[in-house]
Amino acid sequence: MNAPFRPGLAGVCKSAPMMKPIKSLGAAVAALAAPAFFTLPAAADTRTVARVETLPGSDTKLTLSIGSVYDDDRRRGGYRPGLNQYGQTEWEVRELSRDAVKACRQAVRYEARQLGYRNVEIDDDLYVGQIGPRGFFVTLDEVRFEGRRRDVETRVSCEIRRSSVISVEGIPYPYRGKVYGRGW
């Protein structure tokens, strides 16, 4: 301490208090904000806002804040104008969903051929939902499967991950009647 020492009782030294009146408002503000200047460099490394509030008078309040709430959250779900929750622009989503619909239609046609259908007609009624950065869930509302004897119209759903079809649901199995054989 910088205070002068005075001898007290029984030879113990006590420090005299250093009380000087503050005469200007600028000095008071600087004195009250000094702890904030020491905490600001430490708070700048974190992603939170450092806030120091002091009450210099009965009806006044001094607030000193630093930090960045709007930090580097581009691909981690933070809000950015023009980007969705996966950090993609509308143009990127449109391209990815178009590729997903194309892959789903191709997979439906392939699976229908494997089951024995002659022709598959897919209408433009569809729903595309994004389930990840490169994952989509495609629902084709009106798909018409043409077999030898009858036509079936149904709804088909596909799940696409990273431009490959994971599952196709809703393709009806062709009707196989009783097989009349020779009897042995």
User: Can you tell me the distance from the alpha carbon of 144 to that of 150, in angstroms, rounded to the nearest whole number?
Assistant: 10
pTM score, two decimals?
A: 0.54
* Mean pLDDT of the region 117-136: 92
Tell me the domain boundaries of the chain: 26-71, 90-169
Nearest 5 degrees, angle CA 115-CA 100-CA 107? 10
pLDDT digit string (tens) for 30-87?
A: 777 777 666 656 555 555 566 667 777 777 776 766 665 544 544 554 556 788 888 8
- Which two tokens mark 81? 């104008």
- Give the model's pLDDT for residue 173: 85
Alpha-helical regions (H) of the chain: 25-44, 90-115
25, 13 contact by CB (below 8 A): no
Tokens of 151: 């036509």
